[in-house]
Each structure stands twice: as structure tokens, then as C-alpha cells.
Amino acid sequence: MSQQPAEYPTRRPTDESYLDADRFDPPTSLLNLPWVDCHNHAHTLSWEDRERYSLSGCAAMVMVASGYHWTPYKPVAAEDVQFLWDDVINRKRAIERDHLFDANLALGVHTGVRIEDPDTLLDRMAEYSRLDDVVAIGETGITPAQHAESWALDEQRAVVGSQMELAADEDLPVILHTPNVGTDSGPEYRSGIGLPGYESNTSLVQEPVLTGENPALESVKIDVEVAADAGLPEDRIVASHADTNNVEYLLEETDCHVSFTVGYPWLTGIDATDVANTIEEYGPDRVMMDTDCANILKTDVFSVKRSILELYRQGIDEDTIRQVVLENPRDVFGLD
Ligand SMILES: [Zn+2]
């Protein structure tokens, strides 16, 4: 028979008088700071995920329908992309009614997979872009390698350029999809498993159409060139998925805005520290954040909210955080 000790040592050796003398006194107003998610695909998430946006203070978002939130396993026709536009348009009001945030829309044609008849789509896009709910064109942008079917660079330029011309004509900003370099720190998986956390079918990734030393950066430079040809001012571009590979070019050599996608650091390596470093180096005037949450990818709805707290911990003041998560996206996308 085992013998029980007569007494348990329950007095914990903690004592407030031994805490560090420096008192951290964070402003509790950060808890209620409204924020804007300027790039997500919330219409593809669960109801509960959308509720989490509300509960964490997301006052407005830009729900993007263009196809990057999608990894088709086959070539794509114009109707397939138009379905994505119609789907988000038809659900927007019901989503807002349930969750209270303003759900604004961005519609676009992406180049991550070749589209069989892009001109049909681009012709129809003008009418769609004039809908009140549409606040941006995109996401779009040159892609170094496609999924399912390759798309030649000159054809991609034409598709991106037409959308930028339309944006200039309609005075809308463009959400630019910039390719991430990503991290190589992940584990090695068994073959056939793909990349856990991302529904992409890795065997369908095509040979790259950009083969230089830094195709991810080269893509962005071509986008900026295409914008100039299309008559779209650089300050009407929000370069999403900003990272350490492109942020210096974008903020030093262009007038583009940058948006850091903080929703899946396991894939991109990008988190609040990159945002803090960028604000410290270049100031907050052209910096934003987004979650890019979508149902094909392991993404975190709370990532912008967490980053708000983390930016403060890393020394960014409250007014600057407010500018980055609320005022900048409100002004660029013309939100109320
Ligand atoms: Zn996206």
C-alpha cells in the first residue's frame, strides 16, 4: 500500500515585490482598435471564422475574388472566374448582415493559372468594376510559374495591363499579388503528400516562365512597368504579400503601398517583426497589413489583431499602429 504524504507544498515561490522595476503599461485602447483587413477571401471561410473577424475588431475588409484563393487542378475558362465574382457579390450582404463588418470587394483575373479566353473576362470586367461594392481591382500580377497550365509572359503582361488600365479609368486601386520567396526551414515530407497546410497540387506546378536570379522580384518590377504603360499611378497600387525580398524596391524606388500578409508565417516567414522593421526604416505612410485568409491554406484570422499587440510590444506607438491598420487602408480603398 502506497503511503500519501501528509502535506502538499502549495505555497508558490512568487512575490510581486520581486518583479522588475520597469512597469509595462500598455494602452488598453489597443484592445478596441478597429482594423481593416485589406486582403482576404473571407467568403471562402467558415461562418465561425468570419465571426472571429468581428470579435477581434475587424471593422472592414476587402474580400478578393480573382482566383488566387483557389488552386484549380485543371485549365480554367472565363466562366470559372466569373463564377467566383458572382459568388462573392451574391453573398456579400448576407455576410455583412451576420457579422457587422463592412465587406468590400475586389474582383480580378489572376495569372496563377492560364485562362483559356481571358478577353471575354476582361470585357465583362468593366461593368463589374462599376458596382458600388467593388473598391479595388485584383488581386493580379505577373506570376513566375503557373499551376495546371503555363502562361507565357507577354500574355500575362497583357492580362495584368488591361486590368490596370481599367483601374486607372475607374479610379480604383489595384491589389497586386507579389510572389513570396518563402522560408526553406520546413521539414521534408513523404512524396505524394504535397505541402501540408496548402491544397496546392505540387505535381501540377509548371516550368517557370521567369528564370532569372530573383524571379519573385523581377515579377514586381514588370508589374510596375506595366502599370506605367497602363497609365496607373504607382500610388494606386497596394503590393500585397510584401516581404524582405521586395519591400526595399517598392518603398525606395516606387510610390506603391505595401501590405504585409501576416496570416501564414509558416509558409512565408513574414510576421509583425517585418512590419515593425519596415515602419522603423521607412515610416508608416505606405504600410498596411492583411490576413489573406482563405480556405485552401492554413491561415490565421487573428493574425492582424495579434500583430497590433506585437507591434506595440516592439516599440511602435499607438497612433502609428492605428495609421497602419485603419487609416491607410481606409484612405487608399476609399472606405467610410
Ligand atoms: Zn489572396
Please tell me the total count of domains within the chain: 1
> What pLDDT sits at residue 47?
98
Ligand 1 center to 239 CA (angstroms):
11
Ligand 1 center to 178 CA (angstroms):
10
**Residue 38 counted as domain residue:** yes
pLDDT digits (tens, 9 = 90+) for 207-230: 999 989 999 999 999 999 999 999
Ligand 1 center to 14 CA (angstroms):
47
Ligand 1 center to 40 CA (angstroms):
6
> What pLDDT sits at residue 172?
98
Ligand 1 center to 142 CA (angstroms):
14
**Residue 27 counted as domain residue:** no
Q: For residue 319, with 0-12 CB atoms within 10 Å meaning exposed, 13-18 middle and 19 or more buried, which class applies?
A: exposed
| 3-class secondary structure, 200 | coil
- d(CA 162, CA 146) in angstroms, rounded, equals 19
Q: Which domain holds residue 80?
A: 33-181+215-333
For the ranges 60-69, 86-95, 152-161, 296-305, which has the lowest average pLDDT? Answer: 60-69
**Residue 257 counted as domain residue:** yes
**Residue 21 counted as domain residue:** no
> What pLDDT sits at residue 6?
65
**Residue 146 counted as domain residue:** yes
User: Highest mean pLDDT: which of 75-89, 189-203, 252-266?
Assistant: 252-266
Ion ligand 1 neighbours, Cβ < 5 Å: 68, 292
Ligand 1 center to 228 CA (angstroms):
23
**Residue 299 counted as domain residue:** yes
Question: Which helix H or strand E contains 135, and what residues bound it?
Answer: strand 134-140
Closest CA to 257 of 226, 292, 220, 294: 220
97: its cell numbers: 448582415
**Residue 66 counted as domain residue:** yes
**Residue 200 counted as domain residue:** no
Ligand 1 center to 11 CA (angstroms):
52
> What pLDDT sits at residue 19?
84
Question: Residue 225 is part of a domain; what is its CATH number?
Answer: 3.20.20.140
Ligand 1 center to 245 CA (angstroms):
18
